Chain A
């Protein structure tokens, strides 16, 4: 049996492995968009640490947090809190479009350049030193939810 290259990595190394910073992965599948953008359904996914009203804050402590929060399409941008200690969130608090462009995407939909937005969007908090729950539990959960919403594309915006 081939030895798992992640086995010898320390905690820091495993954190990078979650982002592919480790053993090289195979090239990803590239699915062509089957409809024009003007008919496509888009979902947003960020690592900015956004939390909707009433949502559980991300754990910003040393062990990080691999979970995610679901954000309704109709959320008022000012209602989102940001829990992420590892980037300057002040610009995003001033204008959410700098990182999580829900309002901008709504403009594109209104202009007919983009088909529609999914009902629900997703935020992780990018500090995830313990990557196994992310890879085994939370990322697959988000992938399933995106498939259930039959999105055509997902825009990933890292913090």
Chain B
């Protein structure tokens, strides 16, 4: 399933696209560092003034802009 296409059609106000297996969008069990990073990156979209309606951001890009 192409999750980007799904996200483009769902059109949530803001989407953080995470390349993860289904059922584990925040990371693997016990991987607290990754879980925290994904969660805080997602919540960060709420206060990102550059976000437009329906914006889709890749987690890898947002987390490591370089």
User: What A residues does B53 contact at CB under 8 A?
Assistant: 27-30
Q: Which residue on chain B has the smallest CB distance to residue A31?
A: B13
Which size class do B's interface residues fall under?
20 to 34
Interface residues of B (CB under 8 A from A): 5-6, 9-14, 21-30, 32, 35-36, 39-40, 42-43, 46-47, 51-54
By the criterion CB–CB under 8 Å, are B29 and A94 in contact? yes
27 contacting pairs across A/B (C-beta < 8 A): A20-B10, A21-B5, A26-B11, A27-B11, A28-B13, A28-B53, A29-B53, A30-B52, A30-B53, A33-B46, A36-B47, A42-B43, A88-B21, A88-B23, A94-B30, A97-B27, A97-B35, A98-B26, A99-B23, A101-B26, A101-B35, A104-B26, A105-B39, A114-B43, A153-B43, A155-B39, A159-B23
User: In whole Å, how far is A111's beta carbon from the nearest beta carbon of chain B?
Assistant: 10
Complex Cα distance A153/B12, Å?
12
> Does any Cβ of B come within 8 Å of A113's Cβ?
yes
Shortest beta-carbon distance, B63 to chain A, in Å?
16
Is chain A's binding surface mostly helix, strand, loop or mixed?
loop
In contact, B23 and A92 (Cβ under 8 angstroms):
yes
A111 to B61, CA, bound (A): 26
Report if A91 contacts B (CB, 8 A). yes
Residues of A within 8 A of B46 (CB): 33, 37, 40, 153
Q: Which of B22, B30, B51 is A95 in contact with, Cβ under 8 Å?
A: B30
CA A23 to CA B27, docked complex, whole Å: 32
Given A37-B46, A87-B22; A98-B40 close (CB under 8 Å) = no
* A71-103 near B? 1/0 per residue, CB < 8 Å: 000000000000000011101101101110100
